[in-house]
C-alpha cells in the first residue's frame, strides 16, 4: 500500500513517518498537492500554521477535495484536521471544506494547550481497536463543526469542550497527535492504516 504525507512545509515529519512505515507499505513525502493524491492513503500532518498550509494547498485544493470526496482514505492530524474544515481564525486561506465549520481560537487562559488530555465519547471503531483514551495535544485552536454528528471524540481544555476527532466517510481528523500518544496512539495509526488498506483493495467500500 502506498501512503503519502502531504508536506506543506510543516517541519520535521520523522516521528510520523516512523509511525506509518512497515508491513510492506511504501511511504513518501510530497509537496505538490496534486501529486500527493496519487496514492492509496493520504496523511495531512500536524505541525505549522493554517495560513501557510492553506497557501501550499491552494494550487491543488479542488483536486484534493474531489479525491477525498471520492473516497481516498485520509488522516488529518492537528493542523491537518483543521485543513479539513472551511477556514480558520488563525490565518487566511481556504481549507478543504470536507467538514463544514470553522477553526477558532480555544476559549482558555492557558494557550496553547500542550500535553496529555483525556478523550470523551470516543465512539469510532479506531478507538476501540487502539484503546486510546488519553492523547497528546499541542494546539491553540479548535475545530467547530457545523454538524456535531461528525465528531467521534471530544476533549476539554479548561472550560472549552472541543472536537478531538472527526470522521466523514473515509476521512478521519484528529486534533491530537496519535504518533506522539504512546503505544495506544501508534495502535490508532495502525488501525487507520488497516482500514485504509481494506479500502485500497476494495474490501468494505
Domain that holds residue 84: 2-200
State the CATH number of the domain containing residue 126.
3.40.50.880
Report field, pTM of the whole predicted structure over 0.85: yes
Q: Is 188 helix (H, G, I), strand (E, B) or coil?
A: helix
What percentage of the chain's residues is helix, strand, coil (to nearest 5)?
Answer: 30, 30, 35
Domain assignment of residue 123, yes or no:
yes
On the question of pLDDT at 111 being above 80, the answer is yes
What is the pLDDT confidence band of residue 150, given thresholds at 50, 70 and 90?
very high
What is the pLDDT confidence band of residue 147, given thresholds at 50, 70 and 90?
very high
Residues with a catalytic annotation lie at: 78, 177, 179
Per-residue pLDDT of 60-87, as tens digits, reads 999 999 999 999 999 999 999 999 999 9
Mean pLDDT of 51-66: 97
Q: Residues with Cβ < 8 Å from 189, sequence gap 6 or more?
A: 19, 20, 75, 178, 179
Q: For residues 151 and 122, what is the distance between their CA atoms, to the nearest angstrom?
A: 9
Domain assignment of residue 25, yes or no:
yes
> Is residue 73 within 8 Å of residue 36, measured between CB atoms?
no
Question: In the numeric block, which cell numbers belong to residue 123?
Answer: 465512539
Per-residue pLDDT of 21-36, as tens digits, reads 988 999 999 999 999 9
Domain assignment of residue 44, yes or no:
yes
Domain assignment of residue 205, yes or no:
no
The structural domain count of the chain equals 1
Domain assignment of residue 110, yes or no:
yes
Q: For residues 57 and 151, what is the distance between their CA atoms, to the nearest angstrom?
A: 24
pLDDT of residue 49: 93
Q: For residues 27 and 40, what is the distance between their CA atoms, to the nearest angstrom?
A: 10
Amino acid at each position: 500500500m502506498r501512503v503519502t504525507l502531504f508536506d506543506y512545509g510543516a517541519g520535521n515529519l520523522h516521528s510520523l513517518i516512523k509511525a506509518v512505515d512497515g508491513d510492506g507499505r511504501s511511504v513518501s513525502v510530497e509537496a505538490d498537492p496534486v501529486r500527493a493524491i496519487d496514492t492509496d492513503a493520504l496523511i495531512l500532518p500536524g505541525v505549522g500554521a493554517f495560513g501557510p498550509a492553506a497557501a501550499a494547498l491552494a494550487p491543488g485544493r479542488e483536486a484534493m477535495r474531489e479525491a477525498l470526496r471520492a473516497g481516498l482514505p485520509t488522516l488529518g492530524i492537528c493542523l491537518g484536521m483543521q485543513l479539513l474544515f472551511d477556514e480558520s481564525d488563525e490565518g487566511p486561506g481556504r481549507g478543504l471544506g470536507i467538514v463544514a465549520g470553522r477553526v477558532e481560537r480555544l476559549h482558555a487562559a492557558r494557550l496553547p494547550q500542550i500535553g496529555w488530555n483525556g478523550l470523551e465519547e470516543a465512539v469510532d471503531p479506531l478507538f476501540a481497536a487502539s484503546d486510546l483514551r488519553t492523547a497528546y495535544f499541542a494546539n491553540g485552536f479548535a475545530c467547530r463543526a457545523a454538524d456535531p454528528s461528525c465528531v467521534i471524540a471530544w476533549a476539554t481544555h479548561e472550560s472549552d469542550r472541543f472536537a478531538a476527532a472527526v470522521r466523514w466517510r473515509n476521512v478521519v481528523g484528529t486534533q491530537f497527535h496519535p504518533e506522539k500518544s504512546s503505544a495506544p496512539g501508534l495502535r490508532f495509526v495502525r488501525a487507520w492504516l488497516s482500514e485504509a488498506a481494506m479500502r485500497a483493495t476494495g474490501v468494505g467500500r
